[in-house]
């Protein structure tokens, strides 16, 4: 069934033709009367839907669904009514009602991928992450060819909602295994973070062969690094050390993305990914070289005509060019790139991401006033974004010796630290509270949800040009890493090695 809503509408049309349009008796005297009353409500609901009155349609259809006569309809009629009522509720943003109706409809044999996609959306909207994961897994198993209809960022987001909660591990693992078996990938390539998480789950069940099969799909140097330094993956690293040779994996990954960019030159999502890899490998001049043509076309007004995803991804091309310029010491040019990006919308709205990134750079070079002005009116609805905005304000307040603002910001960040624990670590470094920073790092190492990022942050990376404020933070970080309590916690779960990559942004 290609268009489930159209099919439901056609089914309802048959009710409209057959049913009496007189108001039903409030107390049907017979079973036949109950059935007629239910059909009348369905006909009234369909008529209201045709007349673009979703409120009246919902009232009538939901009354029919919960009536005594509903169970006496044919299964096909029940299914069509549930689908139409659920879809109307979903389109009216009554997600709790819609989810309940679509859940019932999906139990029928006629249910297809479109219906399960709707069930997925309404489950996520109502924060039913278990059913969201079940919906993704079902789609992956039954209709793997339709997985591309799901925004891959939503799957990443769902995985983050599930991780770290032991009561949700089964749901998370079932979703990830189903996606893996369906050979799912994203427009940027393999979802390596997800395959790493699935690998960890399989290793915890002592399924080394199955874990090896999943790990073989990981082609990201960044993700391979997180596994090499984490003792949870030691059995895999010993079994196939070449797969965890980070210099080799990084070179192969860059070559792979250069080929992908060449094969699909109209997709900035791939070029943006290549820029990120070149940044990691400290090939800063190459970051500029591979994107010069994009900037030239944009300045000539040909961006949207040249690239399918120009409106969504061009801001990230500029963002990564700015980061390369920072490492090359060309700070004024970096500011101009970020400023240009901030003037472009992000998902049709104000560009919060690049505004925060520019504000953060102002703070890193000691321009507190400009940093504060950039974020003065920002209120990012995401928990991570909110923490990053507060971090910019904290850095600016410290530079301006605004003790009241510092105290207020620290209190707020402490209350929301779980939203972005790494940013909270940075706040402690910024305020030179190194004992607390060490305690937090120990906590992160002990927490399976936070451990991977903590270990990654602790590694010894290649030198790059830094701002004085960055250099001071790195010096404090090394002091924290040397604390005995940190070394003891590290010895239990991982190790520190040297990598010829730029350190992840802190």
Can you spell out the DSSP letters for 2-30?
--HHHHHHHHHHHHHHHS--SPPPSS-SS
**What gap in Å lies between CA 330 and CA 328, rounded to an integer?**
6
- Cβ neighbours of residue 237 under 8 Å, at least 6 residues apart? 227, 228, 243, 244
- Cβ neighbours of residue 366 under 8 Å, at least 6 residues apart? 399, 467, 468, 469
pLDDT computed for residue 383 by the predictor: 72
For 67, which DSSP code?
A: S
**What gap in Å lies between CA 63 and CA 45, rounded to an integer?**
9
| Residues 326, 346 contacting (CB under 8 angstroms) | no
**What gap in Å lies between CA 23 and CA 255, rounded to an integer?**
70
**What gap in Å lies between CA 163 and CA 151, rounded to an integer?**
19
Q: Note the Cα 217 to chain centre separation in Å.
A: 20
Taking the alpha carbons at both ends of the chain, their separation in whole angstroms is 49
pLDDT computed for residue 4 by the predictor: 55
Element (H, E) at 461: strand 460-461
**Cα dihedral across residues 20, 25, 26, 31: positive or negative:** negative
pLDDT computed for residue 29 by the predictor: 56
Q: Which residues of 253-279 are buried (b: 16+ CB within 10 A; e: fewer)?
A: bbeebbebbeeeeebbbbbbbbbbbbb
| Residues 389, 380 contacting (CB under 8 angstroms) | yes
| Residues 321, 336 contacting (CB under 8 angstroms) | no
pLDDT computed for residue 26 by the predictor: 53
Q: What is the pTM of this model?
A: 0.88
How many C-beta atoms surround the C-beta of residue 164 within 10 A?
A: 14
The full DSSP string for 29-78 is SSHHHHHHHHHHHHHHHHHHHHTT-HHHHHHHHHHHHTSTTGGGS-HHHH
Closest C-alpha to 306, from 289, 294, 291: 294
pLDDT computed for residue 379 by the predictor: 74
**Cα dihedral across residues 399, 400, 401, 403: positive or negative:** negative
**What gap in Å lies between CA 178 and CA 157, rounded to an integer?**
17
Residues across the chain: 506
pLDDT computed for residue 9 by the predictor: 60
pLDDT computed for residue 330 by the predictor: 98
CATH of the domain spanning 1-126, picked from 1.20.950, 1.10.3470, 1.10.10, 1.25.40: 1.25.40
Q: For the chain, what are the domain ranges?
A: 1-126, 264-343
Whole-Å CA distances, 273 to 160, 189, 291: 21, 9, 12
pLDDT, one tens digit for every residue, the chain (506 residues): 445 566 566 555 555 555 444 444 454 557 777 888 999 999 999 999 999 999 999 999 999 999 999 999 999 999 999 999 999 999 999 999 999 999 999 999 999 999 999 999 999 999 999 999 999 999 999 999 999 999 999 999 999 999 878 889 999 999 999 999 999 999 989 999 999 999 999 999 999 999 999 999 999 999 999 999 999 999 999 999 999 999 999 999 999 999 999 999 999 999 999 999 999 999 999 999 999 999 999 999 999 999 999 999 999 999 999 999 999 999 999 999 999 999 998 888 889 999 999 999 999 999 999 999 999 988 766 677 899 999 999 999 999 999 999 999 999 999 999 999 999 999 999 999 999 999 999 999 999 999 999 999 999 999 999 999 999 999 999 999 999 999 999 999 999 999 999 998 76
pLDDT computed for residue 505 by the predictor: 77
311 CB-side CA count, 13 A: 6
pLDDT computed for residue 236 by the predictor: 97
**What gap in Å lies between CA 411 and CA 293, rounded to an integer?**
46
Instruction: Decide: helix, strand or coil at residue 482.
Output: coil
pLDDT computed for residue 205 by the predictor: 96
Closest C-alpha to 218, from 228, 230, 207, 205: 228
pLDDT computed for residue 22 by the predictor: 44
Instruction: Decide: helix, strand or coil at residue 361.
Output: helix
Closest C-alpha to 272, from 311, 315, 304, 329: 315
């Amino acid at each position: 069934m290609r268009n489930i809503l159209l099919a439901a509408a056609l089914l309802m049309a048959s009710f409209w033709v057959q049913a009496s349009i007189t108001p039903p008796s409030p107390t049907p005297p017979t079973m036949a009367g109950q059935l007629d009353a239910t059909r009348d409500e369905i006909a009234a609901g369909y008529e209201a839907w045709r007349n673009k009155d979703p409120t009246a349609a919902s009232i009538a259809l939901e009354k029919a669904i919960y009536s005594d006569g509903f169970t006496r309809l044919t299964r096909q009629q029940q299914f069509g009514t549930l689908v139409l009522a659920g879809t109307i509720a979903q389109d009216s943003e009554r997600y709790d009602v819609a989810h309940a109706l679509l859940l019932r409809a999906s139990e029928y044999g006629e249910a297809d991928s479109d219906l399960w996609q709707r069930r997925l959306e309404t489950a996520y909207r109502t924060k039913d992450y278990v059913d969201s994961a079940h919906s993704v897994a079902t789609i992956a198993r039954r209709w793997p060819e339709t997985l591309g209809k799901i925004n891959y960022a939503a799957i990443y987001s769902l995985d983050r909602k599930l991780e770290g909660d032991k009561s949700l591990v089964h749901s998370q693992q079932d979703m990830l295994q189903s996606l893996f078996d369906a050979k799912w990938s994203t427009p940027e390539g393999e979802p390596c973070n997800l395959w790493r998480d699935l690998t960890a789950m399989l290793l915890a069940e002592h399924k080394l062969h199955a874990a090896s099969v999943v790990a073989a799909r990981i082609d990201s140097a960044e993700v391979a690094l997180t596994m090499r330094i984490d003792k949870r993956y030691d059995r895999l690293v010993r079994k196939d050390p070449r797969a965890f040779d980070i210099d080799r994996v990084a070179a192969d990954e860059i070559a792979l993305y250069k080929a992908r960019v060449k094969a699909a030159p109209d997709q900035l999502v791939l070029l943006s990914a290549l820029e990120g890899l070149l940044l990691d490998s400290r090939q800063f001049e190459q970051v500029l070289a591979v994107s010069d043509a994009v900037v030239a076309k944009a300045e000539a007004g040909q961006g949207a005509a040249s690239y399918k995803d120009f409106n969504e991804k061009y801001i990230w091309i500029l963002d990564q060019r700015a980061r390369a310029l920072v490492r090359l010491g060309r700070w004024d040019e970096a500011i101009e790139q970020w400023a240009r990006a901030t003037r472009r919308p992000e998902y049709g709205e104000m560009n919060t991401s690049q505004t925060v990134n520019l504000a953060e750079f102002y703070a890193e070079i000691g321009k507190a006033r400009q940093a504060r002005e950039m974020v003065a009116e920002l209120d990012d609805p995401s928990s991570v974004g909110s923490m990053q905005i507060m971090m910019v304000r904290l850095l600016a307040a410290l530079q301006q010796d605004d003790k009241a603002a510092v105290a207020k910001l620290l209190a707020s960040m402490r209350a929301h630290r779980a939203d972005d624990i790494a940013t909270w670590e940075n706040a402690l470094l910024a305020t030179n509270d190194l004992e607390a920073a060490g305690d937090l790092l120990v906590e992160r190492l002990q927490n399976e949800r936070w451990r991977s990022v903590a270990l990654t942050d602790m590694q010894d990376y290649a030198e790059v040009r830094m701002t004085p404020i960055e250099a001071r933070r790195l010096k404090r970080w090394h002091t924290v890493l040397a604390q005995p309590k940190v070394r003891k916690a590290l010895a239990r779960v991982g190790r520190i090695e040297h990598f010829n990559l730029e350190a992840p942004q802190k």
